[in-house]
Amino acid sequence: MPGLGHGGAPAGPQREGGLLTGQRRRRQAGNAAGGSGKLPRGPGATPWPGYKARPDGDAPVTPRPGQSPPALTAALGALMSKAAPKKAVAPPPPGCTLDINDPQVQNAAIRIQASYRGHRSRKELKEKGPPRVLQELKDVMLIEGSAARLECRISAFPDPFIRWSKDGQELKDGPKYRYIFEDPDIVALVVRDGGLADLGRYTIAVKNTFGECSDSARILVEVPAKIEKGPESTKVKKGATVTLTAHISGEPAPDVGWAKDGEDIEEDDRVFYDIGSNSTTLTIKRVAASDAGKYEVFVENNLGTDESFARLDVL
């Protein structure tokens, strides 16, 4: 059991709020010496360690609040004098220097600036009012089988209602069309599994309780030239008229040509072909025996080529 000091209080230090107050330190020092807990006074009295006596020897002088006892000050000074010297800053290792003319560094600076603009935009979002388009939609080129993304920046508070449409028809968020919301102010539409049917004008409508705004752009589709369905082989009597038809696709619209037995057909008023938006037809009037053979149709654009053939027999 620990010994008790004056008045039955424990002799060991007691904490108050996690720290010992100066008053309680002095009191406990006295208790530990078996006295009354008061500082010794009068000539010949042994002062509390760290206190100095007045020149007249009447009583020890208590340091002002915030001052350290001389012995403690000296000890701290000795410790500080032995502190390790500051280490010299080492130069950056090879490869860690920045070249402001480096395109990657310039791109990083652009992204930092964009992030700062985004911070400003978030601040603007706190201001109630009608939605505004901060960055307009841009036309996008879509290659068949890939995905396209239409993106713009808006400012709107309270949060707005977003609706996308294509050529006036609303697009529902789902597997084909995906609504994208990116903090703080980016909205986008992703069109998946692109094809020629996705060609058109897309519009975003943004609306909240204070008003609405809209913007639009086109998705331009590039599709390799293709023969969806080739001409069918057929038999015809002499003197009759026969037609061979092929269904085609492609964007940009493909060039079309016909050939007989490997030779390009020279059109005239008897043998000629027409090209529509999605088909081509070869017409042969007053069929003769020499018209029998293998007929080929071919299509081509900057993305690809395709061909098909059929036989014509003359009876």
**Secondary structure (DSSP) of 23-84:** HHHHHHHHHHTTS-SSPP-STT--PPTT-EE-TTSSSEEPPPTTPPPHHHHHHHHHHHHTSP
Residue with tokens 């007691």: 14
pLDDT (mean) for 83-97: 64
Q: Are the C-beta atoms of residues 136 and 215 closer than 8 Å to each other?
A: yes
Query: 273 pLDDT band (50/70/90 cuts)?
Result: very high
16-53 tens-digit pLDDT: 444 444 444 444 444 444 444 444 444 554 454 544 44
211/203 Cα distance (integer angstroms): 17
Query: 170 pLDDT band (50/70/90 cuts)?
Result: very high
The structure tokens listed for 136 are 């307009």
Residue type, position 79, single letter: L
Q: Give, in degrees to the nearest 5, the angle at Cα 43 between 37 and 46.
A: 45
Cis peptide before 158 (omega within 30 of 0): yes
| Helical (H) or strand (E) element with 175 | none
Query: 156 pLDDT band (50/70/90 cuts)?
Result: confident
Q: Is the pLDDT of residue 240 over 80?
A: yes
| Helical (H) or strand (E) element with 120 | helix 103-125
124/222 Cα distance (integer angstroms): 39
Query: 275 pLDDT band (50/70/90 cuts)?
Result: very high
* Domains of the chain from N-terminus onward: 124-222 (2.60.40.10), 230-314 (2.60.40.10)
Query: 288 pLDDT band (50/70/90 cuts)?
Result: very high
Residue scoring higher pLDDT (53 or 208): 208
Q: Is the pLDDT of residue 234 over 60?
A: yes
44-78 tens-digit pLDDT: 544 545 444 444 444 444 555 555 555 555 655 65
262/283 Cα distance (integer angstroms): 18
pLDDT (mean) for 146-166: 92
Residue scoring higher pLDDT (15 or 212): 212
Cis peptide before 252 (omega within 30 of 0): yes
Q: Is the pLDDT of residue 178 over 90?
A: yes
Query: 195 pLDDT band (50/70/90 cuts)?
Result: confident
| Helical (H) or strand (E) element with 22 | helix 22-32
92-134 tens-digit pLDDT: 666 666 677 777 777 777 677 666 555 555 555 457 889 999 9
Q: What is the pLDDT of residue 143?
A: 87
Q: Are the C-beta atoms of residues 223 and 304 closer than 8 Å to each other?
A: no
Residue type, position 287, single letter: V
- pTM, to two decimals: 0.49
Residue scoring higher pLDDT (260 or 9): 260
